[in-house]
């Protein structure tokens, strides 16, 4: 994150507490597992989800309690657990420019390492001693898994409807953003209306965030992404820019045929010269990026509107700025 | 289970409620996932873990509350989630004589299906609305994953110490048995001493159960096991019978060398003629089975002793019988 966000300043001390809490699990754990986990934490990540939980809490209450720290650690740990399994499923060898666990360990060990992180995430959720936070945690994990499964089973269905995209990115990203904000709200003793507003903010922010991520997968360079460009297309995942692109084609059949051919070539996962580069260039030139970006902006505006019912304080201002930043990444 | 256990009679109605609860998750779920999950439930399983939770509850309280049913569903669902990932890790194609999910779905889908079941298990645990039950659930999942990882990393270390075996089977089996009993006890408002006694019972029962399972892996036939005989040895997993066998050898080196050779042959996972059959026969003839069986009996006696502090009622009698049955399986 090159721009310095007010949010990360506001929750800086609490995020350090979250970091200490997450790292503490290395202490009692099986040594190879602890090492792998610390590598994962060290590889970066913006810690947006715990920051959201802490901001929602801070907006309503005083300095974060141990329970709020536990909730923030739970959402970040859950996120990391899903990353470990995602990388295994995708066969990804790098993330954030760093070698994945998947590239270092065998399949079985990687599955178990992810499971272990789920367990620790659930443990942090339980430390909140709040039944609703735990229920939310379980529900979100369920949503994420089910969404990933749908994505897997709809892979290479190039002509799937645009409407199928939104539930998929809700499951993948917005659900955890929304739950992170709601967890902080619950522990900050929000009213029902405040809790809903923060959930909705997290939802809209998450949707905007994922659309921008899906745009960057077409427009960014490999160094910025920390992974090969066009990864979604290579995995047969249909995202918003591709929908708009295919819609703009008078005859989509030749495109679909080229994609099917490209994805059946050996060695394509390496991002080698598989002909997909040309299709990515076509998507970029088609106006699809701009159309997708407009949608991200709309979600961002809705997120900002959700904040209006909440107390006007530095946390609210920081969350407004975060929404702006989220779409600015894709501009 | 050919013998009709009093325990399963006592908790029969409640186990039906657990079954209905578990199957209810199929309703809202993604169709291929629901189908796979129902197949898994239909493939049988003794439902010992939920029976333990219900028995611990029934020993102390009246007809099981919805929360006790939820706790029982949580432990069985957690067990099923670990089976899905275990089969993936082991490359197992059948379990209980039925084709595994792993044999039907690709790696990614199988990982996610297991994750999904973890999520639903966590959801059931949260339905107990009891923070301690949720904490216990998270802790047990953690123990199981860490144990499996240790097992994976110690694979083919034929000369590992006998002492490493006990923590491994605690993690693999006894931890969830013990937690199942403790969950029922907590929800049944056990005193601290009663809760500990039921935990200890579950622990000792689980240790005995796993030792007997490890014996059966050497002594049973494939039809009874529902999977190939000698699976542990084929996966390089050192269990109690093997420890005693290796200890009985004046010179273990030739055995170790034969195992290393056999496990490096292609196609060995199919249980084909890989030379392991001879080693299995040697283990059976060595007195190792009897030595392991004696240990299982000792754990069983400790389990029965743990019950003495608890109210003498039909549940207690049924748990005593269950311990007897557990070791009788291996005789």
CB A293 within 8 A of CB A314: no
Write down all domains in chain B, each with its CATH number in brackets. 6-328 (1.10.600.10)
Section B175-179 average pLDDT: 98
pTM of the predicted model as reported, rounded to 2 decimal places: 0.92
Residue A4 vs residue B136, higher pLDDT: B136
Termini Cα distance of chain B: 15
Residue B57 vs residue A45, higher pLDDT: B57
pLDDT of residue A1: 44
Model confidence at B186: pLDDT above 80: yes
Minimum distance, in Å, between the CA of residue B34 and any CA atom of chain A: 11
Return d(Cα B311, Cα B185) in angstroms, integer: 13
Model confidence at B130: pLDDT above 90: yes
pLDDT of residue A30: 86
Q: Would the CB atoms of B122 and A141 count as touching at under 8 Å?
A: yes
Contacts of A137 in chain B (CB under 8 A): 122, 126
Return d(Cα A3, Cα B41) in angstroms, integer: 51
Q: List Cβ neighbours of B134 (8 Å cut-off, separation of 6 or more).
A: A122, A125, A126, A131, A134, B122, B125, B126, B128
**Residue A259 has which token pair?**
């994609």
- Of the given ranges (A35-39, A65-69, A321-325, B82-86), which has the lowest mean pLDDT? A35-39
Residue A108 vs residue B50, higher pLDDT: B50
Model confidence at B32: pLDDT above 90: no
A108 touches chain B (CB under 8 A): yes
- Of the given ranges (A5-9, A306-310, B135-139, B268-272), which has the lowest mean pLDDT? B268-272
Question: Among partner residues A112, A137, A150, which is closest to B145 by beta-carbon distance?
Answer: A112
Question: Among partner residues A33, A107, A126, which is closest to B134 by beta-carbon distance?
Answer: A126
Confidence of residue A37 (pLDDT cuts 50, 70, 90): confident
- Chain A interface mutation, best of B90, B115, B136, highest count of A Cβ atoms under 10 Å: B115
A283-322 residues touching B, CB cutoff 8 A: none
Number of other CB atoms surrounding residue A104 within 10 Å: 13
Contacts of B108 in chain A (CB under 8 A): 88-90, 152
Contacts of B126 in chain A (CB under 8 A): 131, 134-135, 137-138
CA-closest candidate to residue B28, choices B133, B123, B127, B129: B123
Q: How many residues does chain A have?
A: 331
CB pairs A-B closer than 8 Å: 141
- Of the given ranges (A2-6, A116-120, A315-319, B307-311), which has the lowest mean pLDDT? A2-6
Section B207-226 average pLDDT: 90
Mean pLDDT of chain A: 91
Contacts of A150 in chain B (CB under 8 A): 30
Minimum distance, in Å, between the CA of residue B156 and any CA atom of chain A: 15
Section A121-140 average pLDDT: 96
Map chain A to HEC letters.
CCCCCHHHHHCHHHHHHHHHHHHHHHHHCCHHHHHHHHHHHHCCCCCHHHHHHHHHHHHHCCCCCHHHHHHHHHHHHHHHHHHHHHHHHHCCCEECCEECHHHHCCHHHHHHHHHHHHHHHHHHHHHCCCHHHHHHHHHHHHHHHHHHHHHHHCCCCCCCCHHHHHHHHHHHHHHHHHHHHHHHHHHCCCCHHHHHHHHHHHHHHHHHHHHHHHHHHHHCCHHHHCCCCCHHHHCCCCCHHHHHHHHCCCCCHHHHHHHHHHHCCCCHHHCCCCCHHHHHHHHHHCCHHHHHHHHHHHHHHHHHHHHHHCCCCHHHHHHHHHHHHHHHCCC
Q: Would the CB atoms of A139 and B123 count as touching at under 8 Å?
A: yes
Q: Would the CB atoms of B115 and A116 count as touching at under 8 Å?
A: no
Model confidence at A279: pLDDT above 60: yes
B104 touches chain A (CB under 8 A): no
| Nearest residue of chain B to residue A150 (CA atoms) | B30
B282 touches chain A (CB under 8 A): no
pLDDT of residue A272: 54
The residues pairing with A94 across neighbouring beta strands, listed in sequence order, are A99
Minimum distance, in Å, between the CA of residue B88 and any CA atom of chain A: 7
Contacts of B24 in chain A (CB under 8 A): none
Q: How far is CA A217 from CA A5, A214, A295, B187, in A?
A: 23, 5, 16, 50
Highest average pLDDT, of A295-309, B24-38, B216-230, comes from A295-309
Highest average pLDDT, of A196-200, B99-103, B325-329, comes from A196-200
Contacts of B26 in chain A (CB under 8 A): none
Section A85-98 average pLDDT: 84
The vertex-B52 CA angle with B50 and B57, nearest 5°, equals 95
Q: Using one digit for the tens of pLDDT, what is the confidence trace for A45-87? A: 889 999 999 999 999 998 879 999 999 999 999 999 999 999 9
The vertex-A2 CA angle with A48 and A59, nearest 5°, equals 35
Return d(Cα A292, Cα A240) in angstroms, integer: 6
Return d(Cα B108, Cα B114) in angstroms, integer: 10
A148-207 residues touching B, CB cutoff 8 A: 148-150, 152-153
Instruction: Give the count of alpha carbons within 13 A of B233, CB side only.
Output: 33
Contacts of B146 in chain A (CB under 8 A): 29-30, 33, 116
The residues pairing with B98 across neighbouring beta strands, listed in sequence order, are B95
Minimum distance, in Å, between the CA of residue B90 and any CA atom of chain A: 8
Q: Would the CB atoms of B119 and A141 count as touching at under 8 Å?
A: yes
Contacts of B89 in chain A (CB under 8 A): 107-108, 111-112
CA-closest candidate to residue B51, choices B180, B195, B213: B180
Q: Would the CB atoms of A126 and B148 count as touching at under 8 Å?
A: no
| Nearest residue of chain B to residue A130 (CA atoms) | B131
Confidence of residue B1 (pLDDT cuts 50, 70, 90): very low
**Burial zone of B125 (CB within 10 Å; 0-12 exposed, 13-18 middle, 19+ buried):** buried
Q: How far is CA B293 from CA A74, A219, B162, B214, B215, in A?
A: 43, 64, 15, 10, 8
Q: Would the CB atoms of A123 and B135 count as touching at under 8 Å?
A: yes
Contacts of A126 in chain B (CB under 8 A): 131, 134-135, 137-138
CB B195 within 8 A of CB B309: no
**SS3 state of residue B95:** strand
Q: Would the CB atoms of B135 and A127 count as touching at under 8 Å?
A: yes
| Nearest residue of chain A to residue B112 (CA atoms) | A145
Residue A272 vs residue A330, higher pLDDT: A330
Task: Provide long-range contacts, Cβ within 8 A and 24+ apart, for B158-161.
Answer: B158/B238, B158/B242, B158/B246, B158/B252, B158/B255, B158/B256, B158/B259, B158/B260, B159/B246, B159/B252, B159/B256, B160/B238
Question: Among partner residues B33, B149, B150, which is closest to A149 by beta-carbon distance?
Answer: B33
Q: Using one digit for the tens of pLDDT, what is the confidence trace for A217-267? A: 999 887 777 777 888 998 899 999 999 999 999 999 999 999 999 888 765
| Nearest residue of chain A to residue B34 (CA atoms) | A146
A2-41 residues touching B, CB cutoff 8 A: 29-30, 32-33
- Of the given ranges (A51-65, A268-282, B223-237), which has the lowest mean pLDDT? A268-282
Minimum distance, in Å, between the CA of residue B194 and any CA atom of chain A: 24
Instruction: Give the count of alpha carbons within 13 A of A327, CB side only.
Output: 23
Contacts of A118 in chain B (CB under 8 A): 115, 118, 141
Return d(Cα A81, Cα B118) in angstroms, integer: 12
CB B10 within 8 A of CB B320: no
Q: Would the CB atoms of B116 and A32 count as touching at under 8 Å?
A: no
Question: Among partner residues B33, B129, B135, which is closest to A146 by beta-carbon distance?
Answer: B33
Model confidence at A40: pLDDT above 90: no
**Residue A67 has which token pair?**
């329970």
- Of the given ranges (A267-276, B17-26, B126-135, B198-207), which has the lowest mean pLDDT? A267-276
Minimum distance, in Å, between the CA of residue B179 and any CA atom of chain A: 15
Mean pLDDT of chain B: 91
The fraction of chain A above a pLDDT of 70, given in percent, is 96
Q: Tell me, what's the ipTM?
A: 0.90
Return d(Cα A239, Cα A265) in angstroms, integer: 22
Q: Where are the alpha helices (DSSP H) in chain B?
A: 6-10, 12-28, 31-42, 48-60, 66-90, 101-104, 107-127, 131-153, 165-169, 175-187, 192-219, 222-225, 231-234, 240-248, 253-263, 276-285, 288-306, 314-328
Question: Angle between the B12-28 and B66-90 helix axes, to the nearest 10 degrees?
Answer: 70
- Alpha carbon A6 to chain centroid, angstroms: 20
CB B216 within 8 A of CB B329: yes
Model confidence at B47: pLDDT above 70: yes
- Alpha carbon B191 to chain centroid, angstroms: 27
């Amino acid at each position: 994150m090159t721009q310095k966000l007010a949010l990360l300043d506001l929750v800086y001390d609490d995020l350090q507490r979250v970091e200490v809490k997450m790292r503490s699990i290395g202490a009692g754990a099986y040594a190879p597992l602890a090492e792998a986990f610390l590598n994962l934490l060290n590889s970066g990540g913006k810690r947006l989800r715990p920051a959201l939980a802490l901001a929602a809490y801070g907006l309503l209450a005083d300095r974060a309690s141990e329970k709020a720290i536990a909730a923030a650690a739970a959402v970040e740990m859950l996120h990391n657990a899903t990353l470990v399994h995602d990388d295994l499923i995708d066969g990804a060898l790098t993330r954030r420019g760093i070698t994945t666990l998947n590239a270092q360990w065998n399949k079985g060990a990687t599955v178990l390492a992810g499971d272990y992180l789920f367990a620790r995430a659930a443990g942090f959720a339980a430390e909140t001693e709040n039944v609703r936070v735990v229920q939310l945690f379980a529900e979100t994990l369920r949503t994420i898994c089910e969404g990933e499964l749908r994505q897997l089973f709809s892979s290479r269905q190039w002509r799937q409807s645009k409407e199928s995209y939104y539930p998929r990115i809700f499951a993948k990203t917005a659900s955890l953003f929304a739950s992170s904000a709601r967890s902080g709200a619950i522990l900050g003793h929000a009213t029902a209306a405040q809790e809903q507003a923060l959930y909705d903010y997290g939802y809209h922010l998450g949707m905007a965030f994922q659309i921008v991520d899906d745009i960057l997968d077409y427009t960014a360079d490999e160094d910025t992404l920390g992974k090969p460009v066009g990864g979604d297309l290579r995995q047969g995942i249909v995202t918003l820019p591709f929908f708009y692109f295919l819609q703009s084609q008078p005859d989509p059949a030749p495109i679909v045929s080229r994609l099917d051919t490209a994805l059946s070539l050996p060695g394509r996962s390496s991002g080698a010269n598989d002909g997909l580069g040309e299709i990515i260039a076509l998507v970029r030139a088609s106006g699809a990026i701009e159309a997708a970006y407009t949608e991200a902006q709309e979600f961002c505006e809705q997120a900002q509107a959700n904040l209006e019912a909440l107390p006007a304080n530095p946390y609210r201002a920081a969350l407004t700025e975060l929404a702006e930043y989220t779409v600015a990444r894709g501009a």
